[in-house]
Amino acid sequence: MVNVFVTGATGFLGGELLVNLSKRKDINKIYCLIRAGSHKKADLRLEKIFACHADVLDLNRIIPVPGDLTQDDLTECLCSNKDLEDIQVVVHSAANTSFSPIYDTLIEQVNILGLEKILNWSKTLKKLETFLYVGTATICGKEITNRIIKEDESPDLKSTHLVKYTYTKMMGEIIIANHLPKEKVLIVRPSIIMGDSRPWIPRSYVIMWALASINFLRLVPVNANAQLDVIPVDYASAAIVQLLFSKRKYGVYHISAGGKSCTTLQKLSEVIESHFPGRPRFMFVDRELTREVKLWSRNKLNGNTRLNNFPEYLNYWHKEMNDPGDLRILMGGLDPYLSFIELGQVFDNTRLQEDCTIGLPEPAHEYIKRSVDYIENIDIFEDALDS
């Protein structure tokens, strides 16, 4: 029986990890670092996660530890908490996952300095067996395109990044190696987690927001045939938990769709299209048209531009948006997602398939069929500001 400490349990993936871990008979207690002003508020946040699964929180086994990764004295607080002395497994899933440059300073504070605080405490744990770091396969950066990428290709300090988030996650792996012995570290790198393969509403729709926005635009400046490595959150969580308790040959694993289960935006759009009658058909144009779309949103598009060859879409946008400026906000949020899509990165999952029995995930263009109605209810303009 092991005692586990989880960060990020209120998150999209972390919540699934917590619920999956709570089902295991070989786990004694699960302590969760939760941002909350009080124990009571922390309990309520945990209760909500279990309620999503029609499950009940057992506070004798799942114990919130109020705390924040940006808190100066976090390491000291954790070190002085006697209940945490017997932790054998740390699951560090918390991160600031925003792609928006306005959060760059906070992203570094949480993903680098916050990680260091957790590591400094973890090093003091006499019984520590495994430090599981939820990384991301996208730490490979933006130079590797249109091919299958293996675990050993990262982290690479020479890589360049589309967003601060992936850079900080890469640095996280390097920092961990400086703090803990290799045999105690397990790094899992999910690819892009979108939605849930079960027919229920996922608790977070960050990536779904991008798909909903693309579905709204219909004329989208991106290469829709680029391979896209997308997995559902239930698969990501089940794979990580299985790996944690498996006999492992490696220290780093992609949790990904890989060559056999990856998708494309073209395939996803074909599934979605028929569910939204009244919208123009999907039209994918080259990325350079982004500039013209942005000019249109500022009423600055000249007559002699390529975008004017698509009057059906311009009329549709006029009809759907009272203020063309809404499109500017939408494109601002969507831009990094379109850049990621264009990279055509697929993450090799041979290691996971070797060491686990979980099998391959269902391709996104299959499981998305069960979430199509949900896409319609996403408030794309409201959430563009947070993405």
Ligand X SMILES: NC(=O)c1ccc[n+]([C@@H]2O[C@H](COP(=O)([O-])OP(=O)(O)OC[C@H]3O[C@@H](n4cnc5c(N)ncnc54)[C@H](OP(=O)(O)O)[C@@H]3O)[C@@H](O)[C@H]2O)c1
Summarize as ranges the residues that interact with ligand X (CB under 6 A): 7-8, 10-14, 33, 35, 68-70, 93-97, 110, 114, 134, 136, 169, 190, 192-193, 204, 207
For residue 129, the minimal CB distance to ligand X (Å) is 21
To the nearest whole angstrom, how small is the minimum distance from the Cβ of residue 69 to ligand X? 4
Q: Which is nearer to ligand X, 257 or 327 (CB)?
A: 257
DSSP code, position 111: I
Residue length of the chain:
387
Minimum distance between the CB of residue 277 and ligand X, rounded to whole angstroms?
A: 30
Smallest distance, ligand X to C-beta of residue 225, A: 22
Residue 114 vs 344, nearer CB to ligand X: 114
Q: Which is nearer to ligand X, 209 or 310 (CB)?
A: 209
Peptide bond into 155 cis (omega under 30): yes
- Beta-bridged to residue 148, according to DSSP, are 346
| Least gap, CB of 122 to ligand X (angstroms) | 15
Q: What is the CA radius of gyration of the chain?
A: 22
Q: Which residue is nearest to ligand X (CB)?
A: 11
CA angle 274, 343, 357 (to 5 degrees): 80
C-alpha atoms less than 13 angstroms from C-alpha of 259 in its C-beta half-sphere = 7
CB 255 within 8 A of CB 239: yes
Nearer to ligand X, 194 or 330 (CB): 194
Beta carbon of residue 14, minimum distance to ligand X (angstroms, whole number): 5
Q: By C-beta, is 19 or 193 nearer to ligand X?
A: 193
CB-wise, 156 or 326, nearer to ligand X? 156
**Smallest gap from residue 163 Cβ to ligand X (A):** 11
Return the closest-CA partner of residue 90 out of 20, 11, 41, 30: 30
CB of 323 to ligand X, least distance (A): 29
Token couple for 79 = 């070190």
> Of the two residues 148 and 170, which places its CB atom closer to ligand X in the complex?
170
- Toward ligand X, which CB reaches closer, 133 or 216? 133
Q: How far is CA 237 from the centre of its chain?
A: 12
E-state strands within the chain: 2-7, 27-34, 62-66, 89-92, 130-134, 147-149, 185-190, 192-193, 219-221, 227-228, 230-231, 252-255, 263-264, 283-285, 345-347
User: Helices 12-22 and 39-52 sit at what angle, rounded to 10 degrees?
Assistant: 80
Q: How far is the CB of 8 from ligand X (least distance, A)?
A: 4
Report helix angle 164-179 to 115-122, nearest 10.
20
**CA 332 – CA 327 distance, rounded (Å):** 8
Q: How many CB atoms lie within 10 A of CB 278?
A: 5
For ligand X, the closer of residues 69 and 224 by Cβ is 69
Cβ proximity of 165 and 159 under 8 Å: no
